[in-house]
Amino acid sequence: MIERTKENIRKYEAQRYQAAGRSIQWLFTQDTWFEWWEQTGKWHQRGPFRNQYVMARFNDSGPYAPWNVKCITCTENIREHMVGQTKSLGCVRSAETRQRMSAALKDKPFTPQHLANVVAAQKLRWQNYRAARIGHLERVPNDTSCISRMVFGKDTLDTESAGLAALRAMREH
């Protein structure tokens, strides 16, 4: 039997909170959630990493409820989610475009400024992806407040100015 310690109850609360943050209905009570994990026999192997077990919804749809979830590895869950998808974080690229991008980056060193631009662009794409998943119709506005400071070795680089060029270039395309 799974003990109802503060730590274990926090795990229940964390999963419930994450579901709410993704606008997914949560129909588990603490008791039914603990019973479900106990029945799977995977409580000590659960977690967000490869070959650890997660609670996954069938077809990634519907509420988190005892009748709509299964216990699979994190790797299997990601694989199921990606089936049939041709995009990564909302960005679709043809094979030709990927080849051109690869050729353009060949033998180029990654400077701190370039890395800052990449990080800023990834953050913006991730925000837009999350906004689309949650159901917001509009994209993240021209707000660079998510860009903070990054440290590269001994040098500190202000990515707010370094990332602006990358954000503007992304919006133009």
Which residue type does 6 have? K
Residues 6+ apart with CB under 8 A from 129: 89, 90
pLDDT given at position 147: 40
8 A C-beta contact, residue 148 and residue 160? yes
Q: Domain range spanning residue 10?
A: 6-82
8 A C-beta contact, residue 110 and residue 159? no
| Residue at 111 is within a domain | yes
| Residue at 24 is within a domain | yes
pLDDT given at position 113: 82
pLDDT given at position 95: 82
Among 20-34, 78-92, 101-115, top mean pLDDT goes to 20-34
For residue 48, what pLDDT band results from cuts at 50, 70 and 90? confident
Per-residue pLDDT of 100-110, as tens digits, reads 888 887 877 77
For residue 148, what pLDDT band results from cuts at 50, 70 and 90? very low
43 and 110 belong to one structural domain: no
| Residue at 89 is within a domain | no
Q: Is 90 exceeded by the pLDDT of residue 83?
A: no
CA 104 to CA 98: how far, in whole Å? 10
Residues 6+ apart with CB under 8 A from 162: 113, 116, 117, 120
| Residue at 88 is within a domain | no
pLDDT given at position 108: 74
- The residue among 82, 109, 136 that closes a domain is 82
| Residue at 87 is within a domain | no
Q: How many residues does the chain have?
A: 173
106 and 155 belong to one structural domain: yes
What global pTM score does this model have? 0.50
Q: List the single range of 31-40, 68-77, 98-107, 131-140 with lowest mean pLDDT.
A: 131-140
Number of domains the chain is built from: 2
75 and 112 belong to one structural domain: no
21 and 76 belong to one structural domain: yes
| Residue at 147 is within a domain | yes
73 and 110 belong to one structural domain: no
The pLDDT of 12-32, averaged and rounded, is: 92
| Residue at 54 is within a domain | yes
| Residue at 68 is within a domain | yes
- The residue among 82, 110, 136 that closes a domain is 82
Q: List the single range of 2-16, 101-115, 117-131, 135-149 with lowest mean pLDDT.
A: 135-149
